[in-house]
Amino acid sequence: MNEFKKLRLERQKNFDIYTKEQTTFNFNGKNKQVYNNCNLSIFVDDYCNADCKFCVAQLRYENKNQIYQKKKIMDDETYLKRLDEVLTILEPLNLSVSITGGEPTKSKRLVGILKLIEKHKMRKRTITTNGSGLLDKVDGTTILDHLIENHFDHLNISKTHYDETINKKIMCYKKGYCSNEDLKEIIPYALSHNLRPRLSCLLLKSGISTIDDMANYIEYYEKLRIDNVIFRQLMDYDEQNMCNVEKMKYCMENKVDLNEIWKKVDQDKRFQRYKNILGYYYYVEIYNYHNVVVCSESADLKTLYQEKEKNPDVVYEMVFHPNGNLNGSWVDNEDILLEYQES
């Protein structure tokens, strides 16, 4: 095992949630300890106009031997009423919030969700998107402007390569696309309205896979005024329970080992090491490259479940699912904190 991997595993082993501040909170009569850095993710819908073979939203289900097909509240008004109810209950926790999916910009519920986040004055607001719906209009206003009007702070855009042909091939778009030409419009506009864009790139052998590829990616988007990039390693998962053989094969063939990249990055003068962050199932090294902040992250779903089993009363993160449940898990039938009862 290389030294970097050993160091990271040891750090992961030493992660102790009880050294972090927590708040006791009552969920339907049951007290739980909520980690103070806890984030609420609103998983808008499983629909996506891309079809990435590595999709993490799907992986979270498939590595638990479950099919990724989420139940949902069918009526928009009922869904938004339920979200309003849950956000009201959670208000004392002053949570940060992330909107995710599927592709959230393609959901007709998105604008209603943004308005509720504004109504409940939620702290630090982020959306993660493949960018393809940002210039779509709802009620005569672009989604980008709806995000700005509702005071979003961060805009995470997933792009696996700066070369359009390679990116399209990897992300297998069915319809709609966010091109680099679109980004030339989106990035400066967002920046001038206090919405900070970040490019998110999954490291893949068929895409960005070496330190020079990373440098080229950073430099390409730096010219478009991006000052913030994240590179992710394909998530480690539970192979024993994985039910999607095709995905498993794809992941095995395409995985780029960040431990190897980190070894090289630490010796490359272009990257200035800044700091690292140890989370409950992820590890992040942060560097500066010119004026760009570069995060690099590895995560392990097995560690996530081990950590949660060790401390069942701790809430590490919360996810509001399309079925109206609030869970301490990305899987909508696990660790239910507030269950939706149809009236």
Binding positions for ligand SF4, rule: CB under 6 A: 48, 50-52, 55, 57, 101-103, 130, 158, 171
Of 50 and 215, which CB lies nearer to ligand SF4 in the complex structure? Answer: 50
Residue 48 Cβ, how far from ligand SF4 at the closest point, in Å?
Answer: 3
Residue 208 Cβ, how far from ligand SF4 at the closest point, in Å?
Answer: 15
Residue 86 Cβ, how far from ligand SF4 at the closest point, in Å?
Answer: 23
Q: Integer distance in angstroms from the first to the last C-alpha of the chain?
A: 55
Of 57 and 226, which CB lies nearer to ligand SF4 in the complex structure? Answer: 57
Nearest in space to 190 (alpha carbons), one of 159, 154, 163, 219: 154
Residue 102 Cβ, how far from ligand SF4 at the closest point, in Å?
Answer: 5
Residue 173 Cβ, how far from ligand SF4 at the closest point, in Å?
Answer: 9
Q: Residue 230 and residue 176: Cα distance in Å, rounded?
A: 23
Q: Residue 94 and residue 87: Cα distance in Å, rounded?
A: 10
CA angle (1, 230, 198) in 5-degree steps: 175
Strand, coil or helix: what is 264? helix
User: What type of residue is 220?
Assistant: Y
Residue 36 Cβ, how far from ligand SF4 at the closest point, in Å?
Answer: 28
Residue 176 Cβ, how far from ligand SF4 at the closest point, in Å?
Answer: 11
Of 174 and 269, which CB lies nearer to ligand SF4 in the complex structure? Answer: 174
Q: Exposure pattern of 222-250 as b/e (b: 16+ CB <10 Å)?
A: bebebebbbbbbbbbbeeeebebeebbeb
Work out the number of other CB atoms within 10 angstroms of the CB of residue 174. 8
Of 51 and 91, which CB lies nearer to ligand SF4 in the complex structure? Answer: 51
Of 144 and 178, which CB lies nearer to ligand SF4 in the complex structure? Answer: 178
Question: Within 13 Å of residue 273, how many CA atoms lie on the same side as its CB?
Answer: 12
Tokens describing residue 162: 């700066």
Of 35 and 173, which CB lies nearer to ligand SF4 in the complex structure? Answer: 173
User: What type of residue is 320?
Assistant: F
Residue 52 contacts residue 295 (beta carbons within 8 Å):
no
Of 57 and 73, which CB lies nearer to ligand SF4 in the complex structure? Answer: 57
Q: Residue 28 and residue 147: Cα distance in Å, rounded?
A: 32
Residue 323 Cβ, how far from ligand SF4 at the closest point, in Å?
Answer: 18
Of 52 and 87, which CB lies nearer to ligand SF4 in the complex structure? Answer: 52
Q: Residue 211 and residue 40: Cα distance in Å, rounded?
A: 33
Task: Please give the C-alpha separations between residue 96 and each of 42, 152, 175, 197, 282, in angstroms, as whole numbers.
Answer: 11, 11, 31, 17, 18
